Amino acid sequence: IFMAEMSFEQLWADVVPVPQVDAPDAVVKIAYSKEFTNLMDLFRAVQKKEEYSERVLELIEELLELNAGNYTVWLYRRNCLKKLKLDLNEELDYLDGFSKENPKNYQIWHHRRTIVEWLGNGDRELAFCESVFEVDAKNYHAWAHRQWALQTYNLWDNELTFIEKCLKTDIRNNSAWNQRWFYVHSGPEAQSIDVLNREVAYCVDSLMQVTLNESAWNYLRGLYKTHHQELHEIIRTKVEEMVESSNRKNPFALGLLADICEYTGNQLLTAGPNEATQAVQELREASKICVELVSLDQIRAKSWTRRVRTLNLRADSVVVEAA
């Protein structure tokens, strides 16, 4: 408003700029542009005198166009908003546009969260995050912000539908799989056996579509490790079926089956000496699978070789103790 009515020099005629103090013999001086230097000199001056005004907000906007990551400038902007009692929804309008050019800027996301907290209303946030996902479906900042908004303002109602829409668009979207895990384990649903079985079924169905989808395999592995007591039988059965249907050529299926066999063997060992024979069988089976993976998954061949050695040593030690 002010800048439209008068020249820049007229607007700031009453302010004495405060230059940045650099070491006189600095080895590497930052090559600031003349425009940035002049604006920052003015900013230091208004910061020193603690001025909060419309012209300062305009100055801040010009500075952020030149350096959107300047957290000191963002902090001062928030102070201005609070002191001037400005409409915070208008600030979100500003951020909606500004964020499109800086979608992975930490300071912008922090600023937005603070404004939403001041408003005490997260109704705009899910739609805003969706607009970001349309450009980058794996934007970490947007997913983290979405999770915060869901929990803080209890916006869960349509989240599972949204997640399934994302996965239908890209079944390999690891961010969407992570969001599904977040929904199941941090959302409003109780982790009942029905919910857990639903998740296993959804995961297996997706793997029928794309058998080498590492994101889905990691999700299934997470279900097993977190809920093995409830899901051991169903997940082991499904994984064994997928191992055989792939003619033992799917490294993700084999890797998870090795994990299951090893976990089962270790659990049997803790059950007492009467289970030692079965425990050794499970450990040997895990070792056998890892031998297959040495050839099948050559990128991780050394890791599988080391695991074979570890499993065999453990099984051998049980046999010796039993003797």
Give residue-wise pLDDT tens across range 259-277.
999 999 999 999 888 899 9
Residue 3 has pLDDT above 60, yes or no: no
Of the residues 48, 83, 100, 104, which is catalytic? 104
C-alpha pair distances (Å), 278 with each of 245, 267, 317: 26, 10, 14
Contacts for 295 with CB less than 8 Å, ≥ 6 apart:
301
Q: What is the pLDDT of residues 125-179, one digit of tens each?
A: 999 999 999 999 999 999 999 999 999 999 999 999 999 999 999 999 999 999 9
* CA dist., res. 131 & res. 232, Å (int): 39
Residue 8 has pLDDT above 60, yes or no: yes
- Quickly state the pLDDT bin for 4 (edges 50, 70, 90): low
Query: What's the confidence (pLDDT) of residue 161?
Result: 98
C-alpha pair distances (Å), 99 with each of 61, 91, 104, 108, 248: 13, 12, 8, 7, 47
Nearest CA-CA partner of 108 in 99, 116, 100, 117: 99
- Quickly state the pLDDT bin for 1 (edges 50, 70, 90): very low
Q: What is the pLDDT of residues 236-249, one digit of tens each?
A: 999 999 999 999 99
Side chain identity, residue 9? E
Query: What's the confidence (pLDDT) of residue 308?
Result: 98
Q: What is the pLDDT of residues 72-129, one digit of tens each?
A: 999 999 999 999 999 999 999 999 999 999 999 999 999 999 999 999 999 999 999 9
Query: What pTM was estimated for this model as a whole?
Result: 0.91
Contacts for 13 with CB less than 8 Å, ≥ 6 apart:
none
Query: What's the confidence (pLDDT) of residue 9?
Result: 82
Query: Average per-residue pLDDT in the chain?
Result: 95
HEC profile for the chain? CHHHHCCHHHHCCCCCCCCCCCCCCCCCCCCCCHHHHHHHHHHHHHHHHCCCCHHHHHHHHHHHHHCCCCHHHHHHHHHHHHHHCCCHHHHHHHHHHHHHHCCCCHHHHHHHHHHHHHHCCCCCHHHHHHHHHCCCCCCHHHHHHHHHHHHHHCCCCCHHHHHHHHHHHCCCCHHHHHHHHHHHHHCCCCCCHHHHHHHHHHHHHHHHHCCCCHHHHHHHHHHHHHCHHHHHHHHHHHHHHHHHHCCCCCHHHHHHHHHHHHHHHHHHHHHCHHHHHHHHHHHHHHHHHHHHHHHHCHHHHHHHHHHHHHHHHHHHHHHHHHC
- The predicted model gives 56-83 an average pLDDT of 97
Judge contact between 231 and 276, C-beta under 8 A: no
Contacts for 161 with CB less than 8 Å, ≥ 6 apart:
none
In whole angstroms, how large is the CA radius of gyration of the chain? 29
Query: What's the confidence (pLDDT) of residue 318?
Result: 87
Q: What is the pLDDT of residues 10-52, one digit of tens each?
A: 889 999 999 998 877 878 888 899 999 999 999 999 999 999 9
- Quickly state the pLDDT bin for 2 (edges 50, 70, 90): very low
Judge contact between 296 and 313, C-beta under 8 A: no
Task: Decide if 83 is catalytic.
Answer: no
Query: What's the confidence (pLDDT) of residue 170?
Result: 97
- The predicted model gives 65-73 an average pLDDT of 96
- Quickly state the pLDDT bin for 5 (edges 50, 70, 90): low
Least reliable range by pLDDT among 1-5, 190-194, 197-201, 261-265: 1-5
